[in-house]
Amino acid sequence: MAKETAQETGDVQQGDPARPWKVATAVLAVLAVAGIAVFSQQGQRTAQPAATATVTVTAAPGDPAAPADPTAAGQTTTSQGQQEALLSLPRRQEGDPMAKGRVDAPVVMTEWADYRCPFCSVFGEETLPKLQPLIDDGTLRVEFRDFAIFGDDSVNAAAAARAAGQQGLFWEFQLALYEALPNQGHPPVGDDLVMQIAQQVGVADMARFEADYRSEETRQAVRADSAEAQQLGVSSTPTFVVGGQVVSGAQPIEVFQQVIEQERAR
């Protein structure tokens, strides 16, 4: 299964949530019903992991986007309240350096990932670029959130990406870091690699980058996103909420395209 769980690698470092989540209970119910927390990943990781753990939340009964058989393909029917909770997750903040796509895009995909997760790397390197046409035409917005579950080096990586984002290079740094790390195991991410990638992607002010990277404020933001993910019931990486549907694991591009089209048609 092309994902990794927090349960098998230990708890994330805790932090105060970035903001209160009134929808947490409903979202947790959806994720629990979908079964996201019950999968574990064992054995050697490969550069092209099989993606088998699709979990989606279908449209409400009678919605033309709903499949004829709601139990097919790992799909789970949700209540109106649960769907509204999922649809309320996007932040839609203008100028968010960790987002790409129009603020008013009809479909928002929220991703929770750890840079040291090989399956997150596969998604970032191979699948996300293939979704760019949908971002460019205004259909899709992608909002990234940290779920740093593999220890201090995961926090390092996430803090570095955020520091690059302060200079408009979040996505460039993310991709370059994924490409630099092997898609197996949980490779280390130390200061030397962070500085190397920053220079590689063209960070203009390295002194500012290093200050932002080492800042406790930046690291607290990483921990807050991670704590929020746990509060919402996310327990594996990568996990996605696409509109009103949940997708777990580094699924093939066709899975994401299908779910995005269903959500666009709502």
pLDDT in tens, 102-154: 999 999 999 999 999 999 999 999 999 999 999 999 999 999 999 999 999 99
pLDDT at 235 over 90: no
CB 97 within 8 A of CB 220: no
**What's residue 41's pLDDT?**
31
Q: How confident is the model at residue 25 (pLDDT cuts 50, 70, 90)?
A: low
Choice between 249 and 17, residue whose per-residue pLDDT is larger: 249
Q: What's the whole-number average pLDDT of the chain?
A: 80
Q: Has domain 80-265 been given CATH number 3.40.30.10?
A: yes
Which range (84-93, 148-157, 171-180, 242-251) has the least confidence?
A: 84-93
Q: State the average pLDDT over residues 226-241.
A: 94
pLDDT at 169 over 50: yes
Between CA 251 and CA 5 the distance in angstroms is 16
pLDDT tens profile 171-223 = 999 999 999 999 888 999 999 999 999 999 999 999 999 999 999 999 999 99
Burial of 99 (C-beta count, 10 Å sphere; 0-12/13-18/19+) = buried
Residue whose C-alpha is closest to residue 220's, from 20, 19, 21, 17? 17
pLDDT tens profile 30-60 = 555 444 332 223 222 333 333 323 333 333 3
Tell me the domain boundaries of the chain.
Answer: 80-265
DSSP 48: S
CA atoms within 13 A on the CB side of 7: 12
pLDDT at 22 over 90: no
CB 115 within 8 A of CB 189: yes
Which range (74-78, 94-98, 151-155, 177-181) has the least confidence?
A: 74-78
The tokens of 61 are what?
């009964």
**Residue ranges of the alpha helices (H) in 24-180?**
24-34, 80-87, 118-122, 132-136, 152-165, 170-180
CB 177 within 8 A of CB 160: yes
Residue whose C-alpha is closest to residue 55's, from 240, 232, 266, 230? 240
**Predicted TM-score (pTM) of this structure:** 0.77
